[in-house]
Structure 1
Amino acid sequence: MYFFVRLAVFLTAWTLLMGCERQDSAPLDQQLYIWQRQWTPAHDSALQDSRADFSTLRVLALQAFPKTGWSRARIDPLLLKRDGRPLIAVIRLDGQLKSLNQDEVTLQIQQLIIDWQAQGLNLTGVEIDHDAGNARLPAYREFLAHLRTLLPTALPLSITALPAWLDSPELPALLSTVDSSVLQVHAVSDPRRGLFDPDQARKWAQAWSRVTQRTFYLALPAYGVALLPDASGAPVVESEIRIERDGERRELLADPQQLSKLATQLRNDPPAHLAGLIWFRLPLASDRRAWSLTTLGAVARGDSLNSRLALKLSEQQGLHDIVLTNEGNLDNAWPERLTLAVQGCEGADALAGYALQQSPDLLTFTRLRDGRIAAGGQRAIGWARCANIDQGASNVHP
């Protein structure tokens, strides 16, 4: 009898244990930053196309600069109201500010909240983005505690946080003043290390999970920048707006394959308290250095990534337009070289970004500069007036 009682207890414990092991973690939430200071008609389609994959929008709303003072982003409230997703207003307080005037900052934020709510926007939180140095974290904590007491109780307060804060003994107290934090694991701190290091990002996330007792998110990059040297040789970061400066541009781009692998790891084995991923930033069709929304959505969903480059020829009265298409879900660099088998060509030329070499039976287009073809997009590379182009014998060379 004793044996059977012990066996029953063991089987019950084993069943409970197996049940716990089978229990899946809650899926990681996927959110988006909208970081344009001035909205354009392109935001309409970008919002519509992002609805299926991203639950919440964190919108740059207000900025404070050391010299020029306060500036509001020119959002389109009608688009946001029609979109209907939860909104978190992001207030950017420049890290170069000498100090934070609690009363002034609080007044600006309170007025922003009043204005957004009066416009019928679905405001569900406020995020403070302030790159404070470690020595200023005590003062920053006092500011956040003050702000929390004056915000509506039902309105969560979050902050953007830096991995460098992990070295500060002030961090636990700082995190206790807010409802959640967003750990930013992308930046150009050292050009030799690039824009993003997935192994380092995961280590930071693990370390953050051991410090915080509250929900946190990871801010991940879906963009690129160019680095230019200044007079002292230090890098100057160029994003979407071109900087008129001489010198070679070094392009840094977050790798979708790397980010996809990291996101999968985090989904399968999330650090404690990690609630989701926030992608920086919502791409517009005109963005030069952001992933396409097709690629971003595929990474967020965990889809397998692939590029499928192909040549497309359209002919009208003997004139062929030569176009590269990307039928995959992964943005792709312009191919280094394309060759077309031809006969009876009267003329041909390359468009910007490529050079043409011509022989009686072959057209060779060679890349002159770097560029990308968005997933689902296309790019014209040249034209040819030929009696015949054998598309089956033509090739795209990476």
Structure 2
Amino acid sequence: MPVTYFHRLCGALVLALLTGCEPQPPMPLDQQLYIWQRQWRSAHEQALAESRRNFSTLRVLGLQAHPKAGWSRALVNLAQLKADGRPVIAVVRLDGQLPALDVQLAQQQIAQLIARWQQAGVTPSGLEIDHDSGSARLAGYSQFLQALRKQLPADIKLSITALPAWLDSPNLPELLDAVDSSVLQVHAVSDPRQGLFDPVKAKSWAQRWSRASDKPFYLALPAYGVALLPDTGGAPLVESEAPLNHAGERRELLADPQQLADLALQLREQPPSHLAGLIWFRLPLPSDRRAWSLTTLKAVAAGDALASQWQVQFVKREGLYDISLVNAGNLDQPLPKRVQLAARGCDGADGINGYRAQQTQQHLEFTRQASVRVAAGGRRTLGWARCLDISQGAWNVYP
């Protein structure tokens, strides 16, 4: 029987119905990245190269104003930024404690920043103002943004970092009307003693923000940690990228990669209206001890399954073994509490880097004395031993 147009049409309809019943993969969300170091280092070059495939746009701290220090520029390596080639949004940080926003001075400083970047071959596609304004001052902040918008080149989009506390302000519509987009920050916005980040609150804030305006918005998500130090005033001091010259026990807080991965999946599957993407804070460098590794950050942003995998490796030289732990997964992990190896004929052993060694007739055991994170792909020596033999595959790691 010849195949007719009717048969082909029926086949196409059946195929459409069948495929329509299959679950569709989550829609991708644009992934962007903050660069927040105030002084660029040689390590930025490799970090930029390794992040290029995963993050579409760089939001780069370029300028900041503080009540006592005044205006200062971040020392950005513009040659590296130009070579990277991705779209760039310049971020201007205005401290929330500034007594007033000087429109004329801000315009002058921002114009000089943009001109300097353009002369180096970096043309920002946008400008983001990061200002922790109190809700009571949003009307004045809106006027500041309106005046700033008039002075910006037409091809530079204006955005702001926004706070969930503004959701209840009657001045929020006017504020959002003054900009092209907003970045809702959902980390480090509550009392630090309650934690750095709450995924349930973050999702709720995003849903509410989506109803505040029909303009696009982004979510700024954490990929870092902080430490809390006791202070005589009652509220704790917060130590982040730079160490504080302050005595006292530090309570470490770290954004949980799995929590963020779960939230990102939920947002992809059911994105709030007008959500344009996610922006991760911040690009990590190897020296950044309170940030996720770039391997973990890329895995979370890409929606990859997170997994930890420890491997024990050792190198033998004339009966002396150097013993190391390797984090072979894509998830940063605290060092395991205990590592046990099958060994014989040992006449000496010692732990280093926070481990203590113990010997029995059949085993070497290394016990952790202090908790330290090891980045995905990282290595840490846990000790040495002088033995006749250590079995290559006979070891156990205990969390």
Q: What TM-score does the superposition give when structure 1 sets the normalisation length?
A: 0.93
Instruction: State the secondary structure of the residue aligned to 2:205.
Output: helix
Matched, 1:316 2:314: no
How far did residue 356 of structure 1 move?
2.0
Structure 1 distance, partners of 2:283, 2:123, is: 18
How far did residue 326 of structure 1 move?
1.2
How far did residue 138 of structure 1 move?
0.5
Q: Which sits farther off after the overlay, 386-395 or 144-153?
A: 386-395
- Residues 168-317 of structure 1 aligned to structure 2 (within 5 Å): 168-187=169-188, 189-317=190-318
Matched, 1:71 2:84: no
- The 1:298/1:67 distance shift into structure 2, 3 A limit, reads same
Match of 1:382 in 2: 383
How far did residue 22 of structure 1 move?
9.0
How far did residue 241 of structure 1 move?
2.1
Match of 1:128 in 2: 129
How far did residue 365 of structure 1 move?
1.4
Return the letter of the residue paired with 1:105. A
How far did residue 69 of structure 1 move?
0.4
Return the letter of the residue paired with 2:260. L
How far did residue 237 of structure 1 move?
0.9
Deviations 1:233-253 (A, max 9, x none): 421111132223222111111
Structure 1 distance, partners of 2:220, 2:302, is: 16
Instruction: State the secondary structure of the residue aligned to 2:346.
Output: strand
Q: Which sits farther off after the overlay, 57-66 or 326-335?
A: 326-335
Structure 1 distance, partners of 2:328, 2:25, is: 34
Preserved contact between residue 353 and residue 369 of structure 1 (Cα < 8 Å): yes
Compute the RMSD of aligned alpha carbons: 2.0
How far did residue 25 of structure 1 move?
8.0
Preserved contact between residue 349 and residue 358 of structure 2 (Cα < 8 Å): no
Structure 2 distance, partners of 1:273, 1:280, is: 21
Structure 1 distance, partners of 2:366, 2:286, is: 26
Structure 2 distance, partners of 1:96, 1:357, is: 54
Preserved contact between residue 331 and residue 374 of structure 1 (Cα < 8 Å): yes
Structure 2 distance, partners of 1:210, 1:188, is: 20
Q: Which sits farther off after the overlay, 349-358 or 81-90?
A: 349-358
Structure 2 distance, partners of 1:175, 1:188, is: 19
Structure 1 distance, partners of 2:170, 2:241, is: 37
Instruction: State the secondary structure of the residue aligned to 2:371.
Output: coil
Deviations 1:21-78 (A, max 9, x none): 9998863100000000001111010000000000000000000010010110001011
Preserved contact between residue 182 and residue 219 of structure 1 (Cα < 8 Å): yes
- The 1:26/1:359 distance shift into structure 2, 3 A limit, reads closer
Structure 2 distance, partners of 1:369, 1:242, is: 19
Match of 1:7 in 2: none
- The 1:393/1:39 distance shift into structure 2, 3 A limit, reads same
Preserved contact between residue 132 and residue 140 of structure 1 (Cα < 8 Å): yes
Match of 2:63 in 1: 62
Q: Which sits farther off after the overlay, 314-323 or 195-204?
A: 314-323
Instruction: State the secondary structure of the residue aligned to 1:211.
Output: coil
Preserved contact between residue 84 and residue 122 of structure 1 (Cα < 8 Å): no
Instruction: State the secondary structure of the residue aligned to 2:99.
Output: coil
- Residues 92-103 of structure 1 aligned to structure 2 (within 5 Å): 92-103=93-104
Deviations 1:168-212 (A, max 9, x none): 010011000000000000006223421111011000000000002
Return the letter of the residue paired with 2:351. A
Match of 1:335 in 2: 336
Match of 2:39 in 1: 38
Which 5+ residue runs of structure 1 have no aligned equivalent?
Answer: 1-10
Match of 1:113 in 2: 114
Match of 2:9 in 1: none
Instruction: State the secondary structure of the residue aligned to 2:367.
Output: strand
How far did residue 347 of structure 1 move?
1.6
Return the letter of the residue paired with 1:143. F
Deviations 1:364-384 (A, max 9, x none): 211121211111111111111
- The 1:132/1:44 distance shift into structure 2, 3 A limit, reads same
Preserved contact between residue 46 and residue 282 of structure 1 (Cα < 8 Å): yes
Return the letter of the residue paired with 2:78. P
Structure 1 distance, partners of 2:250, 2:149, is: 43
Preserved contact between residue 188 and residue 197 of structure 2 (Cα < 8 Å): yes
Instruction: State the secondary structure of the residue aligned to 1:328.
Output: coil
Structure 1 distance, partners of 2:383, 2:27, is: 50
Preserved contact between residue 59 and residue 88 of structure 1 (Cα < 8 Å): yes
Structure 2 distance, partners of 1:80, 1:168, is: 38
Return the letter of the residue paired with 2:341. L
Match of 2:370 in 1: 369
Structure 1 distance, partners of 2:255, 2:229, is: 18
Structure 2 distance, partners of 1:365, 1:216, is: 50
Q: What TM-score does the superposition give when structure 2 sets the normalisation length?
A: 0.92
Instruction: State the secondary structure of the residue aligned to 2:125.
Output: strand
Preserved contact between residue 141 and residue 174 of structure 1 (Cα < 8 Å): yes
Identity among equivalent positions (%) equals: 63
Structure 1 distance, partners of 2:84, 2:121, is: 12
